[in-house]
Amino acid sequence: MADEVQRVYVASVDEEDGDSLALGCFSSGETAWQVLRTFLKKSDQMLLKSSSVVVWDIDVIGEDGVTILSTMECKDCPVCGRRTFWMDLENFSALCHGAACAAWVEESTIEPGVIDCGWPPIQFLKQAKDIEEAFKELFKIGDQMKAISQVDSLAENEPQEMLEDFENQTSSESSE
């Protein structure tokens, strides 16, 4: 006879319109987290607000039967700009689940009071004194990536023409 299940793990997401999507009921927390992480990779395709993983104890009535393991909020990623940046505000950590991004922020496990942040594609790692500074660093990277992509999309002679237009405008304003 199989072992009797004593608790179940439930992964779910909440949409911005208030609807809730249950992603499943699992016998292990590892499976619930794996299913949720896989789903969050597609979060930019939906209007999601939050997600959670909860544990339900079998045959326990009321509030004592449920434990919330994690609740995360969905935000726009400071680096890639897609709505794939999931923040756990209780155990402060954040991770972009977008393809090829994976920007992250979390409290340092080594130095109390220090916030670590990074962007794996360029092996960027920075320590900040607070959350605001960490997000500023990630926004800087995002701004640099957007600037590079805009320059790359210009025609071969377009940057030179833009520079000449700027210089002409600047010289005409100074002569007035």
Structure tokens at 68: 């919330």
Query: In this predicted model, which residue has the larger pLDDT, 56 or 145?
Result: 56
- Across the range 112-126, mean pLDDT stands at 91
Average pLDDT of span 67-76: 92
User: How much is the pTM?
Assistant: 0.73
pLDDT in tens, 5-52: 699 999 999 999 999 999 999 999 999 999 999 999 888 899 999 999
Higher pLDDT, 59 or 90: 59
Distance of alpha carbon 166 from alpha carbon 79, whole angstroms: 29
Distances (CA, A) of 37 to 42, 50, 80: 9, 13, 18
Q: pLDDT tier at 1 (50, 70, 90 boundaries)?
A: very low
Give the DSSP H/E element, type plus range, for residue 137: helix 131-152
Query: Residue 166: helix, strand or coil by DSSP?
Result: helix
pLDDT band at 98 (very low <50, low <70, confident <90, very high): confident
Tell me the helix, strand and coil percentages in the chain, rounded to 5. 35, 35, 30
Tokens 């992480």 found at: 37
Q: Where are the beta strands (DSSP E) in the chain?
A: 7-15, 20-26, 48-57, 66-75, 85-88, 93-96, 104-107, 115-119, 124-128
